[in-house]
Amino acid sequence: MIQENLPAIFRDFNPLENKMLSLIDNDGEVVNPKYMPSLNDAIVIEAYKQMLYERIADEMAVSYQRQGRMYTYTPNLGQEAIHIAAGMHIREQDWLVPAFREMGTLLAKGVTMKEMFLFYLGNERGGSFQNANHTLPIAISIGTQLHHATGIGYSVKYRKKDEAVFTFIGDGGTSEGDFSEALNFAGVWQVPVVFTIQNNQYAISVPVRSQTKSINLAVKSVAFGIPGIKVDGNDFFAMYLAYQTAAAHALAGNGPVLIEAFTYRLGAHTTSDDPSKYRKKEEENEWGLTDPLLRLKRYMEKKGIFTIDEKKLTEEYKKEITGQFLDAEKNKAYPYDDVFDHMYTDMPDELKRQKAEYEEFLNWKENRR
């Protein structure tokens, strides 16, 4: 049953009819003026800057990994519009329950590139996001995080807090039982959670058509009685409108929302993966035309608001990000206390014993030199 107070976009872009919310085309032309959000120029410029920052940081991370200065990394290339549009709607008090490919959203929450680098250098201190309020660590175990988001939603509702929960999953993750369970729980409990499926067409090498027979992924919301919408994930304005609508819906106490952000992973799944094994160059090139940064830039140029000196800004960002990487590299050391000290709030005797025995060994090793 469709909710009476359902915002219009959920009716007009009914996933059962396989419609997709898209507002600007690849040339930056507005194709759906009725729904175009009226954003002031400063917000649009800021969005472009943030997308550019994420892209540069992401490319640099891949490069550091290639240089052997960082371990496995999960690139974000091509999905920046989703991350930045979401980030613009997550307030300080809202919760972010990430998967592992929404770097721009993490940055919006206050995570620094130093932390991101530290995490991919293999140090939990980076991935724990100490200074980002209400932000859970990166979830590697596919799909499990959606339950955490739903539980936080229950907690927020129970404690009557003005907080929304944003969580992410990939297209492959929708095949996990936890995906269906979490949407079901969230629907029954009517909790303020905005679920995003980043449908970037591949789960490592497996295409969406091998994950599901559904006509799209947003349609999965229908069975759980929650509103769902398929959105052009490479269209900043469409994503902005989707998050604006979804957050308002959730915060008004109307329950959860499912957004399918239809996008494409221009890079590899992780730096250990070679996409040429499972997809064609022509396909990548075709999707390249929908690049969210190019589209937004063309829109801005047409409107005469592309006042950014991109070359200069790129240099600035690179310098700043390099500084953060060097800082992370310098501080990646891992005292062995860190292995033991965070397992429990009060360390069990067995663990104390193991730690003490290891210390004895270290002392022996030290004195042997």
Partner 1 sequence: MSVMTMVKAINNALDIKLKEDSTVVIYGEDVGVEGGVFRVTEGLQKKYGVERVFDSPLAESGIVGTALGMAVSGLRPIVELQFEGFTFPAFNQIASNVSRIQNRSRGKFNVPMVIRFPYGGGINALEHHSDSPEALFAHIPGLKVVIPSTPYDAKGLMIAAIESNDPVIFMEPKRIYRAIKQEVPSEKYSLPLGKAKVIQEGSDVTVVAFGALIRECQKAIAMGEEAGISVELIDLRTIYPIDRETIRKSVRKTGRIVVVAEAHESFSVGSELIAIANEEAFLYLEAPPRRVMGFDTIVPLAQGEHYFIIHPDRIFYEIEKTFKF
Q: CA 273, 274, 279 angle in degrees (round to 5)?
A: 125
Residue 141 in the binding site for partner 1 (CB under 8 A) = yes
- Residue recorded with tokens 């085309």: 25
Specify whether the backbone of 321 is left (phi greater than 0), alpha (psi in -120 to 50) or beta: alpha
Residue 124 in the binding site for partner 1 (CB under 8 A) = yes
| Pick 144 or 244: Cβ nearer partner 1 | 144
Query: Beta strand 165-170 with 206-207: parallel, antiparallel or unpaired?
Result: unpaired
DSSP letters for 238-284: HHHHHHHHHHHHIIIII--EEEEEE----S-SSTT--GGGTS-HHHH
Q: Is 83 a catalytic residue?
A: no
Residue 150 in the binding site for partner 1 (CB under 8 A) = yes
Residue 303 in the binding site for partner 1 (CB under 8 A) = no
Q: Is 298 a catalytic residue?
A: no
Is residue 116 within 8 A of residue 64, CB to CB? The reply is: no
Residue 357 in the binding site for partner 1 (CB under 8 A) = no
Number of chain residues interacting with partner 1 (CB under 8 A): 46
> Which 3 state secondary structure label does DSSP give 190?
coil
**Of 60, 149, 169, 241, the one binding partner 1 by CB under 8 A:** 149
Query: Beta strand 95-97 with 206-207: parallel, antiparallel or unpaired?
Result: unpaired
Residue 323 in the binding site for partner 1 (CB under 8 A) = no
269 HSE (CA, 13 A, CB side)? 20
Residue 353 in the binding site for partner 1 (CB under 8 A) = yes
For residue 88, the minimal CB distance to partner 1 (Å) is 23
For residue 14, the minimal CB distance to partner 1 (Å) is 26
> Which 3 state secondary structure label does DSSP give 214?
coil
Site track 184-223 with partner 1 (rule: CB under 8 A), x = hit: xx--x-----------------------------------
Using CB under 8 A, which of the segments 9-17, 19-27, 289-297, 342-350 binds partner 1? Answer: 342-350
Residue 182 in the binding site for partner 1 (CB under 8 A) = yes
DSSP letters for 9-51: HHHHT-GGGT--B--B-TTS-BS-TTT-----HHHHHHHHHHH
Residue 250 in the binding site for partner 1 (CB under 8 A) = no
**Of 28, 59, 71, 155, the one binding partner 1 by CB under 8 A:** 155
Is residue 249 within 8 A of residue 243, CB to CB? The reply is: no
Is residue 87 within 8 A of residue 105, CB to CB? The reply is: yes
Residue 97 in the binding site for partner 1 (CB under 8 A) = yes
368 HSE (CA, 13 A, CB side)? 6
Alpha helices, H only, the chain: 8-12, 41-66, 80-87, 103-108, 113-120, 124-127, 145-158, 177-189, 220-223, 236-249, 281-288, 292-303, 310-330, 337-340, 349-368
Residue 152 in the binding site for partner 1 (CB under 8 A) = yes
Residue 1 in the binding site for partner 1 (CB under 8 A) = no
Residue 328 in the binding site for partner 1 (CB under 8 A) = no
Q: Which of 69, 158, 278, 358 is catalytic?
A: 278
Residue 344 in the binding site for partner 1 (CB under 8 A) = yes
Q: Is 269 a catalytic residue?
A: yes
Q: Which of 134, 249, 265, 295 is catalytic?
A: 265
Contact residues for partner 1, defined by CB under 8 A: 95, 97, 124-125, 127-130, 134, 136-137, 139, 141, 144, 146-156, 158-159, 177-178, 181-182, 184-185, 188, 338, 341-346, 348-351, 353
Q: Which residues are catalytic?
A: 265, 269, 278
